Amino acid sequence: MSSNNDDFYALSFKTLDGKDYPFEQLRDKVVLIELHKKYADKGLVILGFPSNQFGGQEPGGAEEIQGFCQKNYGVSFQIMEKSDVNGGNENPVYKLIKAKKPGIMGFKKIKWNFEKFLVDREGTVAERWATTTSPASIDSTIKGYLTKKEEN
């Protein structure tokens, strides 16, 4: 199937350890960029994008970021290379997903850490949630996207 969602799959980004991560491998997955242990076996992929644009909360290098995320959050998902998510140097992933799914009143800017986006199995940027939205509150929505494949 060819669609304007192919532009998501054309993206590639560096992981925290410097390896290329082609988004083509995310086809037929539901992607939430920020519930991994619960739904990974059902096709949920989570990508974390560290950024130092929010109060300087991410000043460290790759090893420090990885250690902090594992120690404090038990991270088991892929963490990408630190980058900007707003402004002239924003990374291409955020440029695309913000354009496809603007926030309230059409604002594209990421307001703070842990803003969440969901890309469905077809590559559509389907959902965007604020920093204050807890993962527990979006659990049923994510489950709905994951079960769509099971129903088809």
Annotated catalytic sites, by residue? 72
Spell out the SS3 assignment of the chain: CCCCCHHHHCCEEEECCCCEEEHHHHCCCEEEECCHHHHHHHCEEEEECCCCCCCCCCCCCHHHHHHHHHHHHCCCCEEECCCECCCCCECHHHHHHHHHCCCHHHCCCCCCCCCEEEECCCCCEEEEECCCCCHHHHHHHHHHHHHHHHHC
Is the Cβ–Cβ distance between 3 and 122 less than 8 Å? yes
